[in-house]
């Protein structure tokens, strides 16, 4: 019984620490010209990926959830951005971690992260096109074409809502996913022994 309680406390502490790191990393952002100005790249998925790889997929998803709940305290999107970030991030972490847990090798880690990026990008493009952007437009009281106009200023390929999704949102998520994957691959083995259960 005491051992079970210790295990639960141990996992809760690790999830809490990783979620806190993820939340802090959300403040360190940089834009990329292909995307709308309110979409920026950060490394906040890295702690969740590390947690998912070391502890299991659902722990990674939980870290994503806590990170976005914390971010609600400073939201400027009425919670729409946080919901989108959670859905996309949860897919990325769950897919990657689920594949990695079956064979924990360097090669499989890269394969898992690659498939995670593909899954995340697909879900991000579809959810942004049909749910997130329309909902955000209603919350902010603007037309969907406003997103096209603001993105076209830095991405001349964007001419319509469809091209916004295919030539801006899709590549943005690929870039974001690849950067998070690269950083995770570089540091995971250095920190995993601290997080893994004995």
Picking from 41, 168, 188, the residue whose alpha carbon sits closest to that of residue 112 is 188
Give the containing element (helix H, strand E) for 41: strand 40-41
Q: Kindly state the percentage of the chain with pLDDT values over 90.
A: 84
Picking from 55, 62, 48, 45, the residue whose alpha carbon sits closest to that of residue 101 is 55
DSSP state of 156: T
Output the DSSP codes for 84-112: HHHHHHHHHHHHHHHHHHHS-SHHHHHHH
Q: Give all domains of the chain, ordered by start, each with its CATH number.
A: 12-195 (1.10.1760.20)
Counting Cα atoms < 13 Å in the Cβ hemisphere of 79 gives 2
Asked whether 133 and 150 are in contact (CB, 8 A), the reply is no
Q: What is the pLDDT of residues 150-179, one digit of tens each?
A: 999 999 999 999 999 999 999 999 999 999
CA triple 116-10-197, angle to 5 deg: 60
Q: What is the mean pLDDT of residues 98-123?
A: 96
Rounded to two decimals, the pTM is 0.92
Q: What is the mean pLDDT of residues 89-95?
A: 98
Picking from 137, 43, 130, 132, the residue whose alpha carbon sits closest to that of residue 87 is 132
Whether the pLDDT of residue 103 is over 70: the answer is yes
């Amino acid at each position: 019984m005491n051992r079970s309680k210790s295990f639960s406390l141990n996992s809760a502490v690790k999830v809490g620490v990783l979620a806190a790191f993820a939340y802090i990393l959300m403040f360190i952002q940089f834009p990329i010209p292909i995307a709308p100005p309110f979409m920026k790249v950060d490394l906040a998925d890295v702690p969740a990926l590390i947690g998912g790889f070391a502890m299991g997929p659902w722990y990674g998803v939980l870290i994503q959830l806590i990170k976005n709940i914390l971010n609600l305290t400073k939201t400027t999107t009425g919670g729409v951005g946080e919901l989108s970030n959670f859905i996309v991030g949860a897919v990325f972490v769950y897919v990657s971690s689920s594949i990695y847990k079956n064979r924990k090798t360097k090669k499989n880690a890269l394969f898992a992260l690659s498939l995670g990026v593909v899954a995340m990008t697909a879900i991000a493009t579809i959810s942004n096109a049909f749910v997130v952007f329309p909902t955000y437009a209603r919350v902010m009281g603007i037309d969907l074409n406003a997103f096209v106009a603001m993105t076209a200023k830095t991405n001349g390929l964007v001419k319509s809502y469809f091209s916004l999704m295919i030539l801006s949102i899709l590549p943005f998520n690929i870039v974001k996913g690849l950067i998070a994957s690269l950083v995770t691959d570089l540091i995971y083995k250095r920190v995993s022994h601290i997080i893994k259960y004995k």
